[in-house]
Structure 1
């Protein structure tokens, strides 16, 4: 009931037209034809006036749509007394707009629900030590904040505690946690580690790093050219052809009624209804595949993509560290070192612990219980396992415990957890951001299916970026970029349309600047999701291929439906120039054309066939990463 009332309030013309039509038909049947004609004429004339006002506003903005032909069709049918046909044109025009708006509204409703989980409040520490929760906007320079474990830092601030770790991947693209010491600046948008920390605010929220990126997003959106709807591309030629045929028929026959008889067959309903129906079906398909698309115009662009760019961290990679190597010291076996370390990490909240535990489980190693376990915050964990004292932690921490410690050489993008067993150095576990197993297949599919240029745009270090790019077949790499650099490169990238995929706050400006910005939304990066045209809510890059396939399929169905409608309409208009199709019959025939195009447009509800994405075995990806 609530949905119905909301529809009536938002689109009053649709139900009102239905009610007027029923009343007009009732009056006509009862023998009050003149009253029926007056009511219909007044109603349609009022709608025409309202449409003309909107049409003029659009023309002043340089936008030409189908409203001109619709207004002429309504006027012509009224002039020759075909008021029922004019009511049908009103219903089709208003109903098509409502259908298109509904598709866009539903997509944005789902997206807003996804983005609402971002915190908008801060925990303020007063002088007496009490804690208050306040809106972020009320936090000022010099205030003391408490940021709890795994919370987002609300504004730029300086760390007051001795040491803490923060996840800055959504800001900088660096997938590994960053350790900060007392006095270091912590950027807003960073995610706190496993311990509550105290911060002193350096800048209010509106001047923070996060807000600077938001402003860059707004500028990028303003600079992006608006999308042109599919139906509008056919509006000018169809309008001109229809008016020329109708005008020629009038001139040849010398009868104004002939103009209306021809033009009633030129009502733009196939263009107004077929495309929205097809794109609504496509949006339904993408939603089922885990991709929220902001409207039919965006889905249309998916079907035209010719170049693409990807962020690295969280997009081509999973954005979390995974074990890539076990370097056991002399006298220790790799499996034993990994098993004991993973068993100890069961009692740790460190960012690398999950990757170590997962690697042990993937190798079939059974994790052992500890008789005692303790964690030294940000340094490491100690556990007694089957009588062995196992310590896993940072190099300085292990170095202080073992006389034979050896620091491992690491490449850019790698991190190490060092292991000591019973006071002896046992080895190191090397971790790096895990490459998505589907990334190579996605890049390969796009290249095979008409995407001419594929690049990586990342803020991460060049060696790490080039290693990942080599593993998945991307040859164009732009690394160590700031958000403004990404926007510049994306705006210069050709051919168009251009698609950009990212996940972090630092990707928001370039997502806004791209023809289509796609956010990996599984991690809930609010700024990226708000700036994007589509959000992949499933944690898989393969959904991007699904969106492109559905976009192409939907575009093909919509275009074919429109062409069918136009060809049938023009053919019938040519026949009507001879006078063999009366206006009433023409209106009924035109509705049959409308029905045919709508039924064809419903084919977009079916999944596209063929060209599905293949997969790349995880072991093969891991091998490439180690060799890279």
Structure 2
């Protein structure tokens, strides 16, 4: 009963209309039928006046709304004495708004789930005891207890031997993830059946889940261009409906025909179907580990013609491994690696992590820098133990050590050059690997209508072309600075253009593209904030899935719009001949509204999309002489 009262209060206009209708039945049964037309007519005109205030405000702002037809229909039915039809139209109008609200709530269910499930509390070990504190009071480095089936409040690493984590709200994957000691644990994950301890690696505000919540909050307030396109149908649809009603009146000489046509012209499908479909598409994307920041992005995704990719961390795994150390005379391997890792600890580049892992594996003790600075895409300059250490691309290092020379490396390998105290100290080689699903993703994009693929990377030409040929990418621009990437994307002719990247150096080009897609599982916050779509799972196949969801959403939105238009026009043409009474016409229009909404709700999808298995394409080997990664 409480739930019924809550719904009745939320949709008070529908409730009041039903009460007026029941009151009319009571008056008619009590023998006071003469009062019913007055009750229904006055109420219908009052609702029309209330709706008319909003309509006038829209008109003054230059917006010709579709509610003009609904208000005209109410007034027309009252004037010709079809007072029952007038109340039905009022019920249709208010009920349509209620259905829209319900459909929006249904469509946003997965998005809202992220917002409502945000971790609020943490069990922290302090002074040998477990104390409960707000999640935002947890500091990096503190040890937390996660009880069975509890949410992980902040990003952390697992200290206990093993556990399973349900990461479905973060990644979209329903299969629990197996975690072992030392593995990263995402905030928002649900612990398995055993209590475990974790060590916090970030504050709540900087953790994955809170960043997702911020993106979802931004995404849930959007309106797609196709929805505005639906609004633009208002003028032709209104003119057509009024003209048809006028012709029917003129041909028959009966003003009732005008009202009979207009009650079937009330365009709730146009007002509701498109927003519901786009919210449903955003909800479906969320279930698939994709945060789409606006409905308009879904429309652009549906029309993407060029896909541009960064290489490192996007098409490749982004986890290069140390392959070889080549010191110059005066330096040994361990000393060179120690200096490289000491400088790279101040870098956010993925290669820095590889150097740090290699140093840790060899038990090297890193030195603190007196000062350090990173030049995006080029390298790091740090003062370590009184010497200037420069680590990065050949050109960058050669500016500090003119005698630097390139080193020969194998195909697929990457070179990092080093200068110490103004002297060339050698090179460190690493190898990065193409993601196993990269070729299949590119093939799927081509099937979805993407006409051109392109790679933009700061790597050397030989490395970039080796990867491009392996994946069948048609165009390559190598050795790019962030500004070069922006100019290259702006120069693309086949648009819309989608840019996929992950690093901080990709943030400008992600913002410049028509659709920026950030690989957010490992990418930087800057990239995620600049992008229109954030991939929460470390799978590039989700990029093709995003395009497919965009295409499905736009198709369903347009199908729902035209379904409502065509059925309404067909019924109006029949009503013009006097076949459909006004009251029955109003009821039929309510059915049309419901059908259009249900059709639009198909955009939500019922389950997690599964990527299609695409046979691997032929891979060509290419020799490389001077590749380098930055």
TM-score scaled to structure 2, two decimals? 0.60
Q: Find 2:56's aligned residue among 52, 56, 63.
A: 52
Counterpart of 1:375? 364
Q: CA deviation at 1:252?
A: 1.7
Deviation at 1:102, TM superposition (A): 5.2
Deviation at 1:625, TM superposition (A): 8.7
Q: 1:30 aligns with which of 4, 26, 33?
A: 26
For residues 254 and 100 of structure 1, do their structure 2 counterparts lie closer, same or farther at Cα, with a shift above 3 Å needed?
same
Alignment of 1:259-274 (within 5 A): 259-274=258-273
Change (3 A) 1:66 1:275: same
Q: Give the distance between the partners of 1:83 and 1:4, measured in 2 at CA.
A: 26
State whether residues 66 and 267 of structure 2, in contact with CA within 8 Å, keep that contact through their aligned partners in structure 1: yes
Unaligned runs of 5+ in 1: 117-146, 149-224, 330-336, 359-369, 380-393, 397-406, 419-427
CA displacement at 1:251 relative to structure 2: 2.1
Distance (Å, rounded) in 1 between the aligned partners of 2:113 and 2:520: 12
Distance 1:18 1:571 in 2: 27
3-state SS of 2:455 partner: strand
Cα deviation digits, residues 319-371 of structure 1 (max 9, x gap): 32136x57999xxxxxxx9xxx9xxx9xx99832687699xxxxxxxxxxx9x
Separation of aligned partners in 1, 2:88 and 2:491 = 50
**Match of residue 291 from structure 1:** 290
Please state how far the C-alpha of 1:107 moved relative to its aligned partner. 7.8
Q: How far off is 1:260 after superposition?
A: 1.8
Instruction: Give the 3 Å change call, closer, same or farther, for CA 589–105 of structure 1 in structure 2.
Output: closer
Aligned equivalents of 1:451, 1:291: Cα separation in 2: 19
- Measure, in 1, the Cα distance between the counterparts of 2:237 and 2:255: 21
Q: Is the 8 A contact 1:311 1:458 kept in 2?
A: yes
CA RMSD of aligned residues (A): 4.9
Which among 89, 92, 97 is matched to residue 94 of structure 1? Answer: 97
Match of 2:354 in 1: 352
Retained in 2: the 8 A contact 1:442–1:613?
no
Deviation (angstroms), 1:614: 1.9
Q: Does 1:597 align with 2:596?
A: yes
1:473 deviation in Å? 1.6
In structure 2, the CA distance between the partners of 1:292 and 1:621, relative to structure 1 (3 Å rule), is: farther
Q: Could you say what secondary structure the match of 1:244 adopts?
A: helix
**Where in structure 2 are the equivalents of 1:486-565 lying within 5 Å?**
486-523=485-522, 525-565=524-564
Match of 2:194 in 1: none
**Residue 352 to residue 294, structure 1, CA distance change in 2 (3 Å):** closer
5+ residue gaps, structure 2, are 28-34, 120-139, 142-222, 328-332, 346-351, 369-388, 392-405, 419-426
**Contact 2:518/2:533 (CA < 8 Å) preserved in 1?**
yes
- CA displacement 1:279-313 (0-9 Å, x = unmatched): 34333322221111234332233222222222223
- 1:374–1:280 Cα change, 3 Å: closer
Q: 1:20 to 1:510 in 2, by over 3 A?
A: farther
What aligned pairs does 1:149-298 form with structure 2 within 5 A after superposition?
227-229=225-227, 231-232=230-231, 234-298=233-297
Deviation at 1:572, TM superposition (A): 0.8
Q: Secondary structure at the match of 2:317?
A: strand
Whole-angstrom CA distance in 2 between matches of 1:241 and 1:311? 50
How far apart are 1:442 and its partner, in Å? 1.4
Aligned equivalents of 1:410, 1:440: Cα separation in 2: 24
* Paired residues, number: 453
| 1:85 alignment partner in structure 2 | 88
- For the 8 Å contact 2:413–2:429, the answer to whether it is kept is no
CA contact (8 A) 1:20 1:40 kept: no
Is contact 2:455–2:473 with CA below 8 Å preserved after alignment? yes
- 2:612 is matched with 612
Alignment partner for residue 41 of structure 1, among 37, 45, 55?
Answer: 45
CA distance in structure 1 between the aligned counterparts of 2:251 and 2:450, rounded to whole angstroms: 51
Tell me which residue corresponds to 1:588: 587
CA distance in 2, matches of 1:4, 1:494: 56
